[in-house]
Structure 1
């Protein structure tokens, strides 16, 4: 079964935003996030401008982001990626869940897990 057109558009929008953000373009968030964006990650603020100000100072803004997989349906896009920094080359595995309405991200959830030593993960994290 192929992706619906809506799922494909949602996936394209989120992947474009991710790619631009990963390249250092934090302003792309103003085009993809709804003004009343809701954030579910503890400690992170809701609202587009508050979230952008927060994330611009967060480690993710300076990290290397290596996208591993994307799953989309008509309402959600799920991304699985590796986030690493020079200070933490093993980094973390991240799963972001984005909910979209009318071509903008309206909600976000995430799960973050430290990447252990290779010997502890015989089948790999990704």
Structure 2
């Protein structure tokens, strides 16, 4: 039997993956991203903990516009999403175009209110060309 908490957690996981894939896909126009992102992120309340970004959805959209312009062919692959209460954690592999073939391992953390993201943290690490182990980062 599915409980309301389980449904909420599942919806948050789906919303996290959908929002990341919407924003960080080079195949989707910026105009479409701008139109659709408010389905996932609260435009009136978006608290940012990433040190290079100010609070607010507009700052995030400007970052996305920069990627669209300066990083042709950039991509994201959401490897897994976890949820706990009103938080989700996404483990992602970002590649920022031809100049970044290995990409970055990024953990995105979101807090939800009323079904939309209202707060964000991230942890970013370069994917190395070589590693001491053979396990891979993903």
What's the TM-score, normalizing by structure 1?
0.85
Counterpart of 2:50?
41
Alignment of 1:1-126 (within 5 A): 4-21=6-23, 22=25, 23-24=27-28, 25-27=32-34, 28-34=36-42, 35-58=44-67, 63-84=74-95, 85-126=97-138
What's the TM-score, normalizing by structure 2?
0.79
Contact 1:70 1:80 in 2 (8 A): yes
Runs of 5+ in structure 1 lacking a partner?
none
User: Higher strand fraction: Structure 1 or Structure 2?
Assistant: 1
Runs of 4 or more above 3 Å deviation: 58-62, 118-121
How many residue pairs match? The answer is 125
CA distance in 2, matches of 1:49, 1:5: 30
Deviates more, 1:70-79 or 1:57-66: 57-66
In structure 2, the CA distance between the partners of 1:44 and 1:88, relative to structure 1 (3 Å rule), is: same
